[in-house]
Amino acid sequence: MMRRSTLNLDPDEIGQAGQLLTDLLQDYERLVPGHGVLPRVDRTALTALLNDPFPEQGTSIDQLFGYINDKIIPNSTTIASPRFLAYVLGPPNGIAPFMEAIAATLNQNCNFSQLSPSASVIERKVISWLGGLFGYPEDSGGIITSGGSMASLIAISTALHDKAGFDFRRQGLQALKRPLVLYTSSESHKAIEKDATILGVGVDNVRKIPVDAQYRMRPDLLKSAIEEDKRAGRQPFCVVASAGTVNTGAVDPINDIADICDQEGLWLHIDGAYGALFVLSESKRDMLSTCGRADSIALDPHKALFAPLEAGCLIVRRRETLRQAFTIYSSYLNADEDPLMVNYMDYGPQLSRGFKAFKVWASLQLFGTQAFVDAIERTLALAAYWGELVKAEPSMELMASVNLTAVCFRFKDLDEEGHKQLLAKLIDEGVALLGPVSLNGVTGIRACITNYRTEKSDIDLVLDWLKTQSRFFVTNIKTNGST
């Protein structure tokens, strides 16, 4: 125990904490490759973590790091494991922990530029680089967010302001005589429905447009749904298309949908949280650059750009539209817009905001853009490899084509319960973490490669394990008369 007279560290302690941090990072790097994905959670340790009171007099830096190494790291999920293959979640790039420390040191408040001059320009730089990938014009803009859900929330909120057709700021949804309707596909992410709920649009006013055999929104059915709503006296205002559905990586037919939005005067938002950044890949560029036709795009640097959580981003075609939706004038936040620096409080719901753009900017500086292109190409190639192995294996089948880095597959002779048990055993034995998937009511397994550490050998190992073990879970014994 020690009594401290200040909340600062003295120079010796800064050196000691720095050394302990470096040691921790190096130990972690050594641990990751062979480590299980999910921890064997030590419930006693976690219960103590919950119940032990905070010390009144504090501990030493040594003791603090000891506690982290003994209790916290062993009870953490190894997201960076090369066999963490569930969801869309990857490891942070190597410089990120250092940059997070610097961001905490500077503690810039990215609400208005007086409190964050260089940070404001860095955020603007990251946003304009991202916008440039889709050919967005000079007067485009956006904001760094906590993730894709928040980016889409801000986009749909902006669409309400822009398309409601009355003074939305003053009257809000209270002024509605006819319900506003939002369209998205039946394969879109739950985040969109959640955003519509939060914004008061209401789930009943979210139309889930059916998809084609490739899990892409059907523009003909979008068109007829819009017409039906108009006939019934409702008011369409926004379409959310997916650039990379979370299940299969399907990219909706953006051009056709954009044509409809143009004709009908609707806001087109793209949920590109998973897939939009694959525009960096040569082979996906043509398909994804059509996102540039949208009014706004949500994307997630904490997925395809390997930024540590949290870093999402909304980019909007017309920065002024976003600003009009979020600017609130007040006497104590008097910040005129500078031609160089941006007051980000006027572009989203937050006032105090951290410097999330920094870790994204710094990694692009250190590694260069080509390193991210290469990492993305590698994950795409590994997913394609996975797909080829499944196709070559008679006991398995692909449930959907491999569009990006998600692979949905199943064992022909396993039913829902069999797949569930097989997955549970895979996870329980610490082989890998994969997720379940259900497409058109058929259950299977979903792998998603979002990790620059994953190798072909990891995929071979997981598939061999699954093949061998699946035999023990066969539940659909075929009775075709041949046996």
Ligand X SMILES: *Cc1c(COP(=O)(O)O)cnc(C)c1O
Nearest distance from C-beta of residue 273 to ligand X, angstroms: 4
Instruction: Give the span between the Cα atoms of 433 and 38, in whole angstroms.
Output: 8
Nearest distance from C-beta of residue 317 to ligand X, angstroms: 20
- Name the residue with the smallest CB distance to ligand X: 147
If you search the block for the tokens 């009257």, which residue do you land on?
171
Nearest distance from C-beta of residue 88 to ligand X, angstroms: 5
- Tokens of residue 269, six digits: 């938002």
Nearest distance from C-beta of residue 215 to ligand X, angstroms: 12
Nearest distance from C-beta of residue 274 to ligand X, angstroms: 3
Instruction: Give the span between the Cα atoms of 436 and 444, in whole angstroms.
Output: 6
Of 191 and 211, which CB lies nearer to ligand X in the complex structure? 191
Nearest distance from C-beta of residue 152 to ligand X, angstroms: 7
Of 246 and 291, which CB lies nearer to ligand X in the complex structure? 246
Of 116 and 450, which CB lies nearer to ligand X in the complex structure? 450
- Tokens of residue 258, six digits: 């954009």
If you search the block for the tokens 């093949």, which residue do you land on?
467
Closest CA to 453 of 37, 97, 101: 37
Nearest distance from C-beta of residue 360 to ligand X, angstroms: 14
Of 270 and 389, which CB lies nearer to ligand X in the complex structure? 270
Instruction: Give the span between the Cα atoms of 12 and 1, in whole angstroms.
Output: 18
Of 147 and 387, which CB lies nearer to ligand X in the complex structure? 147
Of 162 and 271, which CB lies nearer to ligand X in the complex structure? 271
Nearest distance from C-beta of residue 247 to ligand X, angstroms: 9
- Tokens of residue 114, six digits: 């007086």
User: What pairs with residue 270 in β-bridges?
Assistant: 241, 297
Of 242 and 343, which CB lies nearer to ligand X in the complex structure? 242
User: For residues 120-137, b (16+ Cβ closer than 10 Å) or e, as one string?
Assistant: bbbbbebbbebbebbebe
Positions touching ligand X (CB under 6 A) are 88, 147-149, 189, 191, 244, 246, 271, 273-274, 300, 312
Nearest distance from C-beta of residue 77 to ligand X, angstroms: 16
User: What pairs with residue 143 in β-bridges?
Assistant: 314
Nearest distance from C-beta of residue 226 to ligand X, angstroms: 23
Of 191 and 399, which CB lies nearer to ligand X in the complex structure? 191
Of 147 and 418, which CB lies nearer to ligand X in the complex structure? 147
- Tokens of residue 91, six digits: 């490891």
Of 89 and 364, which CB lies nearer to ligand X in the complex structure? 89
